[in-house]
Amino acid sequence: MTSERVVSIIIGDSAAARPPREVVRVGLTAAVAAVLSTYRSNSPDMVLDHPLWLSCARAVTEAIHADETHVFGEPQRGRLARLLGCSKPLDLDTLETYAARLASEPEAPEWRLVHWKRRGLLVAVGVAEPWYRVGGPAPYHDSYTMRVFLAPLSTADVVARMRLRIEEAGGFLGQIADVGGATPA
């Protein structure tokens, strides 16, 4: 039997998500998405497979040799933020601290943004795409997706490392689709 813990990797479809300002500012022009299925035959509800997502996030950390990985949640929305026209993301701490929180707190806040840095410089940004909330087009329909914006030269390494980490985590690689001209690993 094939695992229902399916992850597809989509290369180059950066039009599906609006890149954060910091992505454009530092020139992270390539995109790789890990599209995690939320379907499980034994569950009437959708499933956010946090361990499998963490495997993909850690794969990015390894592939780009990041020495700092930080996770952020939904921006805090308060009266002052509305008045000033800005909102500050909820700081969820490092990836490893957030991983421990996900394991111990069933109602841990959902991540929305991940920053990977090397020697203090931003080298990749992961953006949550909660397609499970709205359906979405194929291949994103009902998925828990992380789109990673990075330098083009890092794409093949990230894809190769994700493939390895997905299998090690007990997941199944659904497809690798290159929709932007890059060559999959």
Question: What pLDDT, on the 0 to 100 scale, is given for residue 183?
Answer: 40
Judged by DSSP in three states, 135 sits in: coil
Question: What pLDDT, on the 0 to 100 scale, is given for residue 1?
Answer: 39
Supply the pTM of this predicted model. Answer: 0.87
Sign of the Cα torsion 173, 140, 11, 156 reads: negative
List per-residue pLDDT tens for the chain, 185 residues long: 357 899 999 998 755 566 788 888 898 989 999 999 888 888 888 888 999 999 999 999 999 999 999 999 987 666 655 555 556 788 999 999 999 999 999 889 999 999 999 999 999 999 998 867 666 666 776 778 999 999 999 999 999 999 999 999 999 999 998 987 544 44
| Cα–Cα distance measured from residue 29 to residue 7, given in angstroms and rounded to the nearest whole number | 23
55 closest CA partner among 27, 79, 36, 73: 36
- Residue pair 172/6 in contact (Cβ under 8 Å)? The answer is yes
Q: What are residue 130's phi and psi, to 5 degrees? A: -80, 70
Question: What pLDDT, on the 0 to 100 scale, is given for residue 76?
Answer: 66
Contacts of residue 106, defined as CB under 8 A and 6 or more positions apart, other chains included, come to none
Which residues are registered as beta bridge partners of 33? 10, 147
Distances (CA, A) of 6 to 34, 141, 176: 10, 13, 12
